Amino acid sequence: MTESDISKLDALIIRKPEAPERIYGWLDSQLSIARYYGGCTYQGQSYYIAPNEPDAPLVRADILAREAKCKAVTQRAEKQAAKAAQGDLL
């Protein structure tokens, strides 16, 4: 391989499309196998069913983890705010 071939391959790798965060309409496709296993792998990423969202999309595992972390931080902040308000009342 020449140097230009290597640079062309590098350019293709850099422009590789990122896996989508959510996949809707998967129930009527080949991805429907996910309903039996609770998830699947697509484009090298793990996806899990999110039954609590409308249309129950397949959601990437890292997105689920990020959203759970944000939810925990928000709940912790609300709990601390409620505790601070109670301190003023007592």
Q: pLDDT tens across 17-50, in order?
A: 678 889 999 988 999 899 899 899 998 889 999 9
Q: What are phi and psi of 83, to 5 degrees?
A: -65, -40
Instruction: Provide the domain count of the chain.
Output: 1
pLDDT in tens, 38-85: 899 998 889 999 988 888 899 999 999 999 999 999 999 999 988 888
Is 10 a member of any domain? no
Q: b or e along 57-72 (b: 16 or more beta carbons within 10 Å of the residue's beta carbon)?
A: bbbbeebbeeeeeeee
Residue 80 lies in a domain: yes
Q: Is residue 8 part of a domain?
A: no
Instruction: Supply the DSSP string of 10-40, one letter for each residue.
Output: HHHHHTPPPPPSEE-SGGGSGGGGHHHHSEE
**Does pTM surpass 0.85?**
no
Judged against a pLDDT cut of 70, whether residue 90 lies above it is answered with no
Look at 48 and 16; give whichever has higher pLDDT.
Answer: 48
Q: Report if residue 4 sits inside a domain.
A: no
User: Is 3 a domain residue?
Assistant: no
- Domain residues for the domain of 56 are 18-89
12 lies in some domain: no
